[in-house]
Structure 1
Amino acid sequence: MYAGLVHAHSGLRWIALVLLVAAVVTAIGKWQGRGSYTDGNRKLYLFTLISVHTQLLLGIVLLFISPKVNFGMMSEKLYRFYSVEHTTGMLIAIILITIGYSRSKRASDATAKQRLVAIFYGIGLLLILASIPWPFRIAGAGWF
């Protein structure tokens, strides 16, 4: 079960990243070009939100069953990364993405909606990219 969850969490990250990049690029383009807030945009932003929340749920399960998470071994880089850095960075990013989606729904005009999505999703994307255990950063981490 553990191996399947790790592969699902690691593989689904690519879907979340692609959706986040698409959402940020779309929002910036519409914001700068003063485009409209269409149903297609709204669905892209919603699917992005759903994908990062799915990743959050898988990550919470892994937090409790992973042998890489050990709060008693903070002096070791691997345990500290998975126990604190990865978890905290991803949680803050998902909170920002959620706030951005919620605030954009309440905004009055299309430009404000696109600006909020671009800013909050963009900061969330940067935090996620910084918190992913890339193979060149963490020994033993894989691309999938």
Structure 2
Amino acid sequence: MYEIIQKLHSWWAYLAIVLLCIAVINSIIGFVSKKEYKNADKKLGLYALGAIHTQIIIGLLVYFVSPLGLSGFSMKDSALRLTSMEHPLINIIGIVLITIGWVKHKKLTSSESKFKTLAIFYGIGLLLILSRVPWGLWFK
């Protein structure tokens, strides 16, 4: 069961990261070109938010059914520390920032401020997430 959930977590990450990248790029383009914030822009941000929230739920399942359990908190092995501590913690922080950006942008009225808020919060969240992807394990 663990292997199935872990594979799902890895494959869903592709979708979540692609949607997040598209949402960030769309927000930057919308901000720079001063275009009108439309329903399609809102849907794109919402799909990215939903995909990344689904990813964290799957990730938490992986974390708690992992055969390593709490033994992953060893500070001696950097690969184990990355997957057991750094990856979950930094990704949770990134997802919290993405969620804050979504909530903040809904309260704004101008298109420019909506795009700017999404670009900043989604962008920082994306950078944090990408910084702690265990790339060496992902492509095995």
Q: TM-score range by the shorter chain?
A: over 0.9
2:49 corresponds to: 49
Structure 2: which 5+ runs fail to align? none
1:4-15 correspondence to structure 2 within 5 Å: 4-15=4-15
2:86 corresponds to: 85
For the residues of structure 1 that align with 2:73 and 2:82, how far apart are their CA atoms?
13
For the residues of structure 1 that align with 2:73 and 2:8, how far apart are their CA atoms?
27
For the residue of structure 1 that corresponds to 2:138, the secondary structure is: coil
TM-fit CA distance, 1:10: 0.2
Please state if 1:36 is matched with 2:32: no
After superposition, the CA RMSD in angstroms is 1.3
For the residue of structure 1 that corresponds to 2:134, the secondary structure is: coil
Contact 2:75 2:81 in 1 (8 A): yes
For the residues of structure 2 that align with 1:17 and 1:36, how far apart are their CA atoms?
25
Please state if 1:110 is matched with 2:106: no
The amino acid that maps onto 1:75 is K
The share of aligned pairs that are identical, in percent, is 37
For the residues of structure 2 that align with 1:101 and 1:72, how far apart are their CA atoms?
32
Contact 2:28 2:116 in 1 (8 A): yes
1:53-72 correspondence to structure 2 within 5 Å: 53-69=53-69, 70-72=71-73
Q: Which deviates more, 108-117 or 59-68?
A: 59-68
For the residue of structure 2 that corresponds to 1:49, the secondary structure is: helix
Q: Which has the higher helix share?
A: 2
2:25 corresponds to: 25
1:118-129 correspondence to structure 2 within 5 Å: 118-129=119-130
Q: TM-score, structure 1 length as denominator? A: 0.91
2:138 corresponds to: 142
1:9-57 deviations in Å (ceiling 9; x for gaps): 0001110111011001100000011111101000000000000000010
Contact 2:9 2:59 in 1 (8 A): yes
Structure 1: which 5+ runs fail to align? 136-140
Contact 1:103 1:116 in 2 (8 A): yes
TM-fit CA distance, 1:83: 1.6
Matched length? 139
